[in-house]
Amino acid sequence: MKKILEDVRVLDFTHVWFGPYCTMLLAELGAEVILVEPPWGNIGRMGPGELFKNTRTSTSFYSLNQNKKGIAVDMKNPEGIALVKDLVKESDIVVQNYVPGVMERLGLGYEDCKKIKPDLIYAGLSGFGQTGPYREYASYAVIAEAMSGHSYANGNPAEPGGKPKSLAGAIGDLAPGTMAAFAICAALRYRDKTGLGQSIDVNQLDTMVSYNTPSTTDFSLFGETSAERRRKRQLNPDPDQPTQPQQIWGLIPCKDGWVQVAGSRPKAMEELKKFLGTDEVDINSIKTKLSEMTKKEAFDWLVQFGFPAAPIYQAHEAMNDPHVIDHNMFVEVEHPLAGKYKTPNFPVHYSLTPGEVTSACPVLGQHTEWVLTNILKKTPEQVASLEQSGAISCWRK
């Protein structure tokens, strides 16, 4: 076995960010992921993210659908839905992130699919879950971030009534997507031991609430927020700044940007004092010194004493960091229409079964013919008939 999930087939009915990131992680671990789209493409092709040149596909779709095969099937066409149900029978996992009720109306809910494939693992991803008063409400990353307390904490909690701020990078999608991939792998383990599949309900709100456990547990214990307690103790309530002047902590400006310092390690403080020939060091004197350096110089200067520190990069700058390069975190793939581009590799390093990015996202309908002929054993004549009827769409060079 070269890949952990190399004997697993996933039927992927996901779109936008949350679901596609989950299934992409499975694909990078070796699963055969078949992305099912309508012949006109799923909404993720249109954004978020700018459309790339003449490919009619958003940059976010390129980044979230690597390693997948793509088929185009009209699930409102009787022949199309029959094909999809045949693929359910040949799959180990179904992942979908439609609003609860949509797949049931198509005859592709868990109970429907379980009749086709009794040991199927079926992951229903949504904003608020398959049950509860909000189950049918629409959601995106920012909604889950807002309701779980992250947007408030990311804004200005230092002041009462401080303005909240949405998180950058759709963490409310990517974090639940990671949790969903983890849950699916756990369900696979259970099936390996018992032979039983099951339904998995993964939603953005519950996941983001769980990721805010320090804040909610803290409040449950003390009955007030950490910012309120810091104000009472007359400490700086701004989490980006040190609570006391003698702490070396926070966001510090340099000649060409900023560095982040998360210090106050006793040994690092003693090394710094020794270097500066002083008994006391405060944040203001360090700020003055770092203001004369580039962020690279400031980073090198701080880490020599043992401070946890980092240059504050724009995302593309990380691509050229020597440590990131050493970890092979960006790989080049080639798309049939867009050409070559670099994209993040699988971020976890296994000693025997490495995950990796090996192919770009699919062109709409790129693998329809391959999937139908190789998995469903359709003849070329049957594929042509299905295509002519509008049940499927095939991309050919």
What are the tens digits of pLDDT across the range 282-339? 888 899 999 999 999 999 999 999 999 999 999 999 999 999 999 999 999 999 999 9
How many domains, the chain? 2
Q: Do residues 289 and 166 both lie within one domain? A: no
Question: Helix or strand or coil: residue 71?
Answer: strand
- Asked whether residue 233 is domain-assigned, the answer is no
Q: Do residues 304 and 330 both lie within one domain? A: no
Q: Do residues 258 and 301 both lie within one domain? A: yes
Q: Do residues 333 and 301 both lie within one domain? A: no
* Domain span at 20: 9-210+325-393
Q: Do residues 157 and 80 both lie within one domain? A: yes
The reported pLDDT for the residue numbered 234 is: 58
- Asked whether residue 150 is domain-assigned, the answer is yes
- Asked whether residue 231 is domain-assigned, the answer is no
Show the low-confidence residues of the chain (pLDDT under 70). Answer: 156-161, 233-246
CB 391 within 8 Å of CB 79: yes
**Domain-terminating residue out of 263, 295, 315:** 315
- Asked whether residue 220 is domain-assigned, the answer is no
Q: Do residues 342 and 311 both lie within one domain? A: no
Q: Distance (Å, rounded) from C-alpha 198 to C-alpha 184?
A: 10
- Asked whether residue 218 is domain-assigned, the answer is no
- Asked whether residue 274 is domain-assigned, the answer is yes
CATH number at 64 reads 3.40.50.10540
DSSP string, 216-276: HHHHHHHSS-HHHHHHHTT----TTS-SSTTS-EEEEEETTEEEEEE---HHHHHHHHHHH
Q: Do residues 92 and 181 both lie within one domain? A: yes
The reported pLDDT for the residue numbered 258 is: 97
Q: Do residues 199 and 268 both lie within one domain? A: no
Q: Do residues 335 and 353 both lie within one domain? A: yes
- CA dihedral sign, ordered 176, 106, 55, 337: positive
Q: Distance (Å, rounded) from C-alpha 243 to C-alpha 234?
A: 9
Which amino acid is it at 267?
K
The reported pLDDT for the residue numbered 341 is: 94
* Residues designated catalytic: 173
